[in-house]
């Protein structure tokens, strides 16, 4: 399982579950409790930006990827 897929799945679980425990998420995703805790900490740190929810979703990741590829295809900025 790639880290991008794992983090997006983790974010969707947090958004959809009312009670979130490290042990329950660990069991649902199939990763260790320490990895779940690290992901939770990373999401908390990323949430300092208002738009951070966008790149946590699969649609937002796809949009961000397309934007970066589009900007790279323009070439260097003079």
What pLDDT score does 58 carry? Answer: 77
Closest CA to 57 of 2, 3, 4: 4
**Reported confidence tier of residue 22, pLDDT bands at 50, 70, 90:** confident
Domain layout of the chain by residue ranges: 3-73
What pLDDT score does 41 carry? Answer: 86
What pLDDT score does 78 carry? Answer: 65
For the chain, what is the radius of gyration of the CA atoms?
15
Stated pTM of the model: 0.59
Contacts of 18 (CB under 8 A, 6+ apart): none
Tokens of 75: 């070439």
């Amino acid at each position: 399982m790639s880290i991008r897929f794992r983090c997006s799945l983790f974010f969707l679980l947090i958004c959809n579950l009312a009670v979130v425990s490290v042990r329950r998420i660990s069991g649902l995703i199939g990763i260790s409790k320490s990895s779940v805790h690290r992901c939770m900490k990373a999401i908390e740190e990323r949430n300092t930006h208002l738009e951070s929810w966008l790149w946590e979703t699969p649609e937002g990741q796809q949009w961000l990827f397309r934007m970066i590829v589009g900007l790279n295809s323009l070439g260097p900025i003079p």
